[in-house]
Amino acid sequence: MSFKINKYDKNKEYFKRAEKVVPSGVYGHLGPAEGCFIPVSAFPTFAEKAQGAYFWDVDGNRFIDYMCAYGPNVLGYGDKDVNNAAFEQAKIADCTTAPSTKMIELAELLVDTVASADWAFFAKNGGDTTTLAIMTARAHTGRKKLIFASGFYHGVTPWTQKLGYPGILEEDVANNLYIPWNDYEAFEKMVEENEGQIAAYIATPYMHGNFRDNELPADGYWQKVRKLCDEKGILLIIDDVRCGFRLDLAGSDHYYGFEADLICFCKALANGWSVSALCGKEEFKGTVSGITFTGSYWLSAVPFAAAIACIKKMKKLNLPEKLRKDGLMLTDGLRDAATNNGFNLVVTGEPALFYLRVDDKDGNLMIHQEWVAECVKRGVYFTNHHNHFMNAAMTEQDIKLTIEIADEAFKVVRKNHPELD
Does position 310 interact with a copy of itself (CB under 8 A)? The reply is: no
| Burial of 130 (C-beta count, 10 Å sphere; 0-12/13-18/19+) | buried
Does position 17 interact with a copy of itself (CB under 8 A)? The reply is: yes
Q: How many CA atoms lie within 13 A of 147 on its CB side?
A: 29
> Which one of 75-83, 227-235, 311-319, 410-418 is the stretch in contact with a copy of itself (CB under 8 A)?
75-83
Does position 352 interact with a copy of itself (CB under 8 A)? The reply is: no
Stretch 102-161 residues interacting with a copy of itself (CB under 8 A): 103-104, 107-108, 110-111, 118-121, 123-128, 131, 134-139, 144, 155-159, 161
Dihedrals φ, ψ of 114, to 5°? -95, 125
What is the rounded CA–CA span in Å between residue 255 and residue 208? 15
According to CB under 8 A, which one of 235, 260, 299, 347 is a site residue for a copy of itself?
299
Q: Could you tell me which residues are beta bridge partners of residue 237? A: 202, 262
Q: Given the complex with a copy of itself, which of 292 and 364 has the nearer CB atom?
A: 292
Q: How far is the CB of 152 from a copy of itself (least distance, A)?
A: 13
Please state whether beta strands 54-57 and 235-239 pair in parallel, antiparallel, or not at all (unpaired): unpaired
Q: Given the complex with a copy of itself, which of 224 and 312 has the nearer CB atom?
A: 312
Does position 177 interact with a copy of itself (CB under 8 A)? The reply is: no
Please give the DSSP secondary-structure letter assigned to residue 276: E
DSSP per-residue string spanning 107-145: HHHHHHH-TT-SEEEEESSHHHHHHHHHHHHHHHH---E
3-state secondary structure of 144: coil
What is the rounded CA–CA span in Å between residue 354 and residue 389? 7
Q: Given the complex with a copy of itself, which of 123 and 367 has the nearer CB atom?
A: 123
According to CB under 8 A, which one of 3, 40, 62, 78 is a site residue for a copy of itself?
78
What is the rounded CA–CA span in Å between residue 341 and residue 380? 18
> Which one of 68-76, 333-341, 353-361, 394-402 is the stretch in contact with a copy of itself (CB under 8 A)?
68-76
Does position 250 interact with a copy of itself (CB under 8 A)? The reply is: no
Q: Given the complex with a copy of itself, which of 108 and 192 has the nearer CB atom?
A: 108
Does position 168 interact with a copy of itself (CB under 8 A)? The reply is: yes
Q: How far is the CB of 83 from a copy of itself (least distance, A)?
A: 6
According to CB under 8 A, which one of 93, 177, 328, 401 is a site residue for a copy of itself?
93
Does position 228 interact with a copy of itself (CB under 8 A)? The reply is: no
Stretch 363-402 residues interacting with a copy of itself (CB under 8 A): 381
Q: Given the complex with a copy of itself, which of 279 and 403 has the nearer CB atom?
A: 279
Please state whether beta strands 262-265 and 176-179 pair in parallel, antiparallel, or not at all (unpaired): unpaired
Does position 29 interact with a copy of itself (CB under 8 A)? The reply is: yes
- Reference 216, options 249, 181, 241, 185; nearest CA is 181
3-state secondary structure of 202: strand
Q: How far is the CB of 320 from a copy of itself (least distance, A)?
A: 20
Does position 167 interact with a copy of itself (CB under 8 A)? The reply is: yes
Q: How far is the CB of 95 from a copy of itself (least distance, A)?
A: 3
Dihedrals φ, ψ of 65, to 5°? -100, 105
Give the max Cα distance, the chain: 67
Stretch 32-61 residues interacting with a copy of itself (CB under 8 A): 34, 44-50, 55, 57-58
Stretch 267-286 residues interacting with a copy of itself (CB under 8 A): 267, 272-274, 276, 285-286
Q: How far is the CB of 171 from a copy of itself (least distance, A)?
A: 4
Residues constituting the chain: 421
Q: How far is the CB of 353 from a copy of itself (least distance, A)?
A: 14
Phi-psi region for residue 352, left (φ > 0), alpha (ψ -120 to 50) or beta?
Answer: alpha
Q: Give the count of beta carbons closer than 10 Å to the beta carbon of residue 418.
A: 7
Please state whether beta strands 198-203 and 235-239 pair in parallel, antiparallel, or not at all (unpaired): parallel
Q: How far is the CB of 362 from a copy of itself (least distance, A)?
A: 29
Does position 211 interact with a copy of itself (CB under 8 A)? The reply is: no
Strands, E assignment, 286-391: 345-348, 355-358, 380-381
Does position 163 interact with a copy of itself (CB under 8 A)? The reply is: no
319-340 and 396-416 helices, crossing angle to 10° = 30
